[in-house]
């Protein structure tokens, strides 16, 4: 970024000064809580599962070049933009459009609908991983042999027999475990045959949503602590699996295939690279917006988190391809022929784990990592919905967060039940969204938070490159095929209809805004347009809701007067009759409570003295040291020996020579 000088004498404004009189908002207790939450959302199953599959499908190392270019010029700038918007405005995906373009608030509702759709199917994948995790607690893994009740005569294991004749009809034990035992697709004859729900998967799904609820019910205070485990454990497991995979025979074949580019496929991989970047980083889902809204005003973690995401994808490629090289060595096949189709997570890798020494241990670690990766993404997606709706309706939902989160989790659980039937198949997608905030105003917002504005690289990416990258990723839509089953045309149209339903919120809210907003057409158009922004004191922007400079903060209270030396030591009575101590004595009692002597209980009005020696106190009683009712012992200056003339009935005190021996 290029640095931009601040105006002289100005300071970086805090979020409270920009947001006017808004209610105080929770913030992350530690910076690491936010960093781990963003990393946990960005590093998901797509980094471990989809990235290696897309990589070897598109020529191995040739895929890394367009992937890095799409990340640098497309994904990271949008990642940065969404974090900056959330951190500056400190609201969720719905109310933020009041500051950008109010008539497009329906985009915020669409984001919430998309996140709910994702929660319906994404948690089912985590339930599968949990089912595999529970099945791994066995001396022999159930997908290691063909001697199980769900196996067929076509089942054939590469590792049980020395010389095997593999045909097109042969199935591995891991494939039959996944298809016939977990999904039970043999009981379904098509999409018209729904089938029943397996109680084992239902129990796993219930445990997943229960964990999600108790991680989100109190907001970032609980989820920020859970991610310390769920976001760091995958890296420990990845390092263990990488070391184990590097020691397997034939691992070098997988690494060579991973890094050696196939330049003939370079022209056809750009669409998959763009889709993988946006699917992995996750801009446009409102999650980054929600997580950054709980940030302090001056955080700058966009580059760090995006680099961690890309590094994790690259590292997971080594973990996966070392195992694929091992399987290719054992099967005497090419690496490209080892895994075909999107079966890497639940078929190919478990089969390799089943034939290692200590297979149960490594299987437990691998599927525990899958569960934690999925939970982090679920935390982020549902937190985006919770934050957006609670910021939009604070009066109705603000005081009932726990009940609201419980209802939302119950809705997602009921919506996920359909994915446990026999006809459901795994699919993924992504939905981008763009901002209508002016580039100049957005750059000034970033300058207000960080003290320097975004450079030319970021502005060019936001204006031209990132939108073009989004358009490229929509050019090619591959046919929807799962293994050997080709979906009928009516099911594809139904899927498009479900996808389009999320976008209906945008025109619906536009019509609502135009019809129900009072005033003339010109006034309605002005209220639906982006709000005015103007520079406040110091050259920094004023928040658009206030439209007036924020009032200056009240001056700090003056410091209390310092106590004298004798009063501090509790020896104020020693200098009562000494002239030499009088410059060190207090002239009036200290207004605050003393640290040495506790404050006494107040006396009735008329009897409370104003000082240690006040007029009206008898001489005999005044000679005894006593404490002021208002604080530590303080003394008035010595009274004159003779009262002024014309002051009758005033008690007089004889003057005494200074007692040099005192003090």
Binding residue positions for Na(+)? 40, 42-43, 47, 280, 309, 373, 376-377
Enumerate the known binding-site residues.
40, 42-43, 47, 280, 309, 373, 376-377
DSSP assignment letter at 261:
B
Residues near 474 by Cβ (< 8 Å), separated by ≥ 6? none
SS3 call for 155? strand
E runs forming strands in 289-414: none
**SS3 per residue for 498-526:** HHHHHHHHHHHHHHHHHHHCCCCHHHHHH
Q: Contact at 8 Å (CB) between 28 and 237?
A: no
SS3 call for 573? helix
Give the span between the Cα atoms of 528 and 515, in whole angstroms. 12
- Neighbouring CB atoms inside 10 A of 273's CB total 26
Give the span between the Cα atoms of 37 and 39, in whole angstroms. 5
Q: How far is CA 297 from CA 37, 429, 531, in A?
A: 17, 33, 21
Residues near 598 by Cβ (< 8 Å), separated by ≥ 6? none
Q: CA 619, 621, 625, 626: dihedral to nearest 10 degrees?
A: -120
Give the span between the Cα atoms of 416 and 412, in whole angstroms. 6
Q: Contact at 8 Å (CB) between 322 and 118?
A: no
If 0-12 CB within 10 Å is exposed, 13-18 middle and 19+ buried, where does residue 292 land?
Answer: buried
Q: Contact at 8 Å (CB) between 402 and 424?
A: no
Residues 453-465 as b/e (b if ≥16 CB within 10 A, e otherwise) read: bbeeebbebbeeb
């Amino acid at each position: 970024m290029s640095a931009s000088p601040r105006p002289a004498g100005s300071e970086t404004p805090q979020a409270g000064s920009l947001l006017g009189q808004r209610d105080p908002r929770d913030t992350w207790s530690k910076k690491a809580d936010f960093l781990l939450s963003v990393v946990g959302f960005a590093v998901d199953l797509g980094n471990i599962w989809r990235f290696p599959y897309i990589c070897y499908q598109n020529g191995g190392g040739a895929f890394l070049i367009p992937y890095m270019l799409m990340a640098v010029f497309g994904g990271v700038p949008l990642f940065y933009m969404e974090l900056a918007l959330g951190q500056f405005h400190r609201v969720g995906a719905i109310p933020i459009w009041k500051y950008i373009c109010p008539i497009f608030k329906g985009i915020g509702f669409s984001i919430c609908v998309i996140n709910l759709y994702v929660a319906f199917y994404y948690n089912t994948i985590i339930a599968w991983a949990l089912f595999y995790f529970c099945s791994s607690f066995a001396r022999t893994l159930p997908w290691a042999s063909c001697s199980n009740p769900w196996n067929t005569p076509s089942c054939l294991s590469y590792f049980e027999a020395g010389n095997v004749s593999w045909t097109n009809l042969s199935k591995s034990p891991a494939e039959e475990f996944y298809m016939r035992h977990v999904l039970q697709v043999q009981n379904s004859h098509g999409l018209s045959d729904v089938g029943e729900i397996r109680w084992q998967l239902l129990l796993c799904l219930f445990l997943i949503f229960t964990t999600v609820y108790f991680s989100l019910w109190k907001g970032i205070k609980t989820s920020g602590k859970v991610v310390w485990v769920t976001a760091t454990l995958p890296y420990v497991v990845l390092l263990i699996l990488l070391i184990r995979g590097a020691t397997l025979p034939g691992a070098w074949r997988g690494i060579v295939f991973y890094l050696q580019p196939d330049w003939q496929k370079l022209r056809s991989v750009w669409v998959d690279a763009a889709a993988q970047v946006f699917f992995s980083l996750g801009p446009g889902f409102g999650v980054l917006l929600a997580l950054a809204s709980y940030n302090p005003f001056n955080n700058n973690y966009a580059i760090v988190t995006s680099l961690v995401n890309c590094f994790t994808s690259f590292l997971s490629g080594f973990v996966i391809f070392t195992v694929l090289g091992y399987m290719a060595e054992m099967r005497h096949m090419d690496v490209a022929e080892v895994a075909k189709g999107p079966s890497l997570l639940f078929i190919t890798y478990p089969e390799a784990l089943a034939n290692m020494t200590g297979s149960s241990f490594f299987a437990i670690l691998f599927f525990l990592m899958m569960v934690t990766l999925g939970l982090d993404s679920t935390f982020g997606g549902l937190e985006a919905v919770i934050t957006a709706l609670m910021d939009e309706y604070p009066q109705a939902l603000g005081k009932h967060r726990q009940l609201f989160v419980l209802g939302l989790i119950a809705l997602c659980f009921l919506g996920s039940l359909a994915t446990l039937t026999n006809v459901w198949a795994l699919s993924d997608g992504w939905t981008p969204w763009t901002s209508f905030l002016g580039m100049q105003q957005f750059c000034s917002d970033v300058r207000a938070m960080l003290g320097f504005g975004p450079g030319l690289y970021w502005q060019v990416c936001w204006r031209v490159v990132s939108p073009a990258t989004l358009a490229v990723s929509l050019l090619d839509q591959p046919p929807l095929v799962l293994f050997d089953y080709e979906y009928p045309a009516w099911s594809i149209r139904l899927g498009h209809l479900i996808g389009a339903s999320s976008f209906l919120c945008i025109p619906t809210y536009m019509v609502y805004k135009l019809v129900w907003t009072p005033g003339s057409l010109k006034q309605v158009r002005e209220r639906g347009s982006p709000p005015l922004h103007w520079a406040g004191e110091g050259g920094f922007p004023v928040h658009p809701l206030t439209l007036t400079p924020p009032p200056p903060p009240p001056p700090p209270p003056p410091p209390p007067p310092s106590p004298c030396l004798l009063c501090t030591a509790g020896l104020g009575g020693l200098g009562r009759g000494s002239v030499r101590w009088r410059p060190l004595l207090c002239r009036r009692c200290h207004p605050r409570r003393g640290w040495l002597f506790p404050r006494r209980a107040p006396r009735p009005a008329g009897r409370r003295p104003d000082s240690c020696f006040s007029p009206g106190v008898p001489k005999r009683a005044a000679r005894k040291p006593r404490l002021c009712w208002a604080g530590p012992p303080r003394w008035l200056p010595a009274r004159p020996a003779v009262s002024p003339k014309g002051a009758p009935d005033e008690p007089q005190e004889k003057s005494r020579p200074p007692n040099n021996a005192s003090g």
